[in-house]
Amino acid sequence: MKYLKSFLLLFLLTSSSIFSNDISSAAKKAKESVILITVFSSKIINGKTVYYKTGYGSGTVISSKGHVITNYHVVKKGDYYIATLSDGTETEFEKFTSGNYFRFDYETDLALMKLKHGNYIPVELADSSNSSEGETVIAVGNPYGLRHSITSGIISSMGRCDIGFSAVEDFIQTDVPINPGNSGGPLINLNGQMIGINSAIRTSTGSFQGISFAIPSYIVKKVAEDLLLYERVRRGWIGILVKEEIESDKRNVKIISVTSGSPADIAGLRKGDLIKEADGILINSKGSLIRLIKNKNIDTELFLTVSRNGILLDKKIFFSENITDKNMHNDKIRKKYGFSVSKDSDGVPVVSDVSSFSKIESLEIGDSIIAVNGKKTPDMTTFLKRMKLNSYKIESVIIKRGTEHYLLKPEE
């Protein structure tokens, strides 16, 4: 018995040592690809531009030429940026031809930057779809500016959507401790490969409380490539608005609007259709459908099975790019009030997305916006004009839901 106890103790110590070495070697491999981004804002004092530090975050080097992926929320308010490499060296960022330091994708909260001269070590990318719940993962980043910190934990869940952090969501949920400053750093596996970008935490205090989220690598890869090649993300678009309905204890995804002339319209989809499957995948939530659609490339096909008056119909839809989408407007509206707007088939502004942190809590997807700040908004053009003239400030909205009208006001 004495020998058995000694063997078990030796086994546990050996296993712990091997596990610790796995984390150490994986973190060491990825660490050289992680930078600290210090954000500066500027103001004019006595005719001179003065820069002052306003924040920091993390960035992940994804090419030997110095391309860096980070979160849009890390860099969006800055005027100037400094990168600190793993060895403590400081360097600057280059501006793109547009004159900006970054290109961004609002829908995923990702931004692409470029370090000045040098030969950089890019992170090795892994396919996040091969990751699974319970797997040990590691975060490398700069929490509270503490440069190149390492934390570890496990994957709690895959495919989290409808969290309310961004328009396109397919988060990897972990219990890895991350805090302000970790955003933009990599989530890596025990091979030292990046499976995601750490982006958000669920908290009531502003600090880590056991739940963190990372954007999976397949989304990061597509966004980075498109931002580099096209300066924007080219997503498939079919021209529908949907919302979830519960009927007979079943959750359905119902089409509430079809844009005239859109791929969905051409394929014969109609308002009121219930979407049952997409590319053979069961659809039981709005998030699962949006995730699939947003990550499809243009000029590809989508096969939908819909229920119309109890009859199942198969529809083939050809994706196109929605070049009329006004991200700038929705960026400002969502940033201030936590919801997004699209136009329906009649051109009327309709609530297309509502964050769980919306300042107008009673809003629902599919609500038609009849008036803003006491002035009518019969179409999307008028709505955007009224928003712009009022500096995107909302004092009240009148919405139509079914046959009822409601006056709603933002929370103070």
Do 305 and 333 lie in a common domain?
Answer: no
Q: 198 near 41, Cβ under 8 Å?
A: no
Could you tell me the CATH number of the domain that includes residue 156? 2.40.10.10
User: Which of these is catalytic: 86, 105, 109, 342?
Assistant: 109
Do 342 and 283 lie in a common domain?
Answer: no
Do 298 and 356 lie in a common domain?
Answer: no
Please provide residue 297's backbone torsions phi and psi, each rounded to the nearest 5 degrees.
Answer: -85, 155
Per-residue pLDDT of the chain (412 residues; tens, 9 = 90+): 555 555 555 545 544 454 456 888 888 888 999 999 999 999 898 888 889 999 999 999 999 999 999 999 999 889 999 999 999 999 999 999 888 999 998 778 899 999 998 789 999 999 888 888 999 999 999 998 888 899 999 999 887 776 666 556 678 899 999 888 899 999 999 999 999 999 877 755 556 667 889 999 999 999 999 999 988 888 777 888 887 777 767 778 888 888 777 888 889 999 889 999 998 888 877 777 877 777 777 778 889 999 999 899 999 998 877 654 545 666 678 777 878 787 776 778 888 777 656 778 778 777 889 899 889 998 888 888 888 888 888 888 898 887 788 888 887 6
Q: Which domain holds residue 331?
A: 327-408
Q: Could you tell me if residue 288 is inside a domain?
A: yes
Of 295, 321, 347, which residue is a domain's last?
Answer: 321
Tokens of 401: 């839901």
Do 136 and 187 lie in a common domain?
Answer: yes
Q: 78 near 41, Cβ under 8 Å?
A: yes
Distance CA 194, CA 173 (A): 15
Q: Could you tell me if residue 57 is inside a domain?
A: no
Residue 320 CA, distance from chain mean position: 21
Do 382 and 304 lie in a common domain?
Answer: no
Q: Could you tell me if residue 21 is inside a domain?
A: no
Of 209, 230, 251, which residue is a domain's last?
Answer: 230
Q: Could you tell me if residue 119 is inside a domain?
A: no
Q: How far is CA 158 from CA 98, 113, 125, 195, in A?
A: 37, 28, 18, 12
User: Which of these is catalytic: 33, 58, 67, 73?
Assistant: 73
Q: Could you tell me if residue 77 is inside a domain?
A: no
User: Given the structure tokens 């600057």, which residue do they identify?
Assistant: 92
Question: What pTM did the predictor assign?
Answer: 0.74
User: Considering its fold, how many domains does the chain have in total?
Assistant: 3
Do 363 and 292 lie in a common domain?
Answer: no
In the annotation, is 117 catalytic? no
In the annotation, is 320 catalytic? no
Could you tell me the CATH number of the domain that includes residue 268? 2.30.42.10
Do 140 and 222 lie in a common domain?
Answer: yes
In the annotation, is 73 catalytic? yes
User: Which of these is catalytic: 183, 212, 352, 355?
Assistant: 183
Do 307 and 370 lie in a common domain?
Answer: no
The residue among 278, 70, 91, 90 whose CA lies nearest residue 181 is 70
Of 275, 294, 321, which residue is a domain's last?
Answer: 321
Do 173 and 203 lie in a common domain?
Answer: yes
Do 222 and 264 lie in a common domain?
Answer: no
Do 174 and 146 lie in a common domain?
Answer: yes
Q: Could you tell me if residue 22 is inside a domain?
A: no
Q: Could you tell me if residue 378 is inside a domain?
A: yes
Do 274 and 342 lie in a common domain?
Answer: no
Q: Could you tell me if residue 35 is inside a domain?
A: no
